[in-house]
Amino acid sequence: MPRPRTLNPRRQSCQHYYLLRPIPSDSLPLVELKEDPDPVFDPKERDFNETELKSVLGDFDSRFLSVLPPVDDKYTGNDELEDFEIQKPSGVLPKEIRAVDFDVQFGKKHKPSKKLKRRLQQWLWAYSFCPVVYTWTDLGNRFWPRFLRVGSCPSKRSCSVPEGMMCKPANSTHLTILRWRCMQKKGGLKCAWIPVQYPIITECKCSCSS
């Protein structure tokens, strides 16, 4: 099972929960979270009342959250699919693709036809397209739900012609999950589930590798 990732708790003056986000904010995906291995800090069976936990959590998006190990996701276990097959570009052809001057490549005497130019534009769009690759991650029993569908950007090959640029995170959102948090107080160890926000990559773009 993949190990949890490093999150940075930061108290918000206007909120009653911890906001977990990477620092800097564009450092996605998150790196490994180091937890105290002592089982005394683990939640007990009685702490997993699903009805109560869903009530505390509020919105439960089953597309990205799962209490049990997911078994029917076609991309589970695939860090990346060959040739970026998960998603295909759709919608309006980007203006930067339309602006590519193919006439220079062919020379003034051999300008590509409109049909060929369109095909070259579509090929370049598909080649430079950076889909988000989603995989299920096990955050461990100190998170509920413990299985989260996180996004990453393909990195097996360059996305530019000529080569040099790579797919990089371009946008992200946050999903609310619960984290088991223990604090040592005068009366002993006090533990409770607290809402936290986990950043998820939602968009990748072909960018300079630096």
According to the model, what pLDDT value does residue 195 have? 92
pTM score, whole prediction:
0.65
Query: CB count, 10 Å around CB of 39?
Result: 8
The predicted model gives 69-88 an average pLDDT of 53
**pLDDT at position 109 over 50:** yes
**pLDDT at position 138 over 60:** yes
DSSP string, 1-53: -PPPB---EEE-TT-SSEEE--SSTT--S--B------GGGSPPGGG--HHHH
Query: CB count, 10 Å around CB of 130?
Result: 23
Q: How far is CA 186 from the centre of its chain?
A: 40
According to the model, what pLDDT value does residue 156 have? 87
Look at the chain and count its residues.
210
**pLDDT at position 28 over 80:** no
Q: Cα(25)–Cα(74) distance, rounded to whole angstroms?
A: 30
* pLDDT mean across residues, the chain: 75
AA identity, residue 84: F
According to the model, what pLDDT value does residue 34 have? 64
Q: Going from the N-terminus, what domains does the chain have, and what CATH number goes with each?
A: 39-68+91-208 (2.10.90.10)
| pLDDT tens-digit readout, 149-172 | 999 998 888 888 888 889 999 999
According to the model, what pLDDT value does residue 122 have? 82
What φ, ψ does residue 2 adopt, rounded to 5°? -65, 145
Query: Among 164, 191, 183, 154, which residue's Cα sits nearest to residue 42?
Result: 191
| Percent of the chain topping pLDDT 70 | 69
**How big, in percent rounded to 5, are the helix, strand and coil portions of the chain?**
20, 30, 50
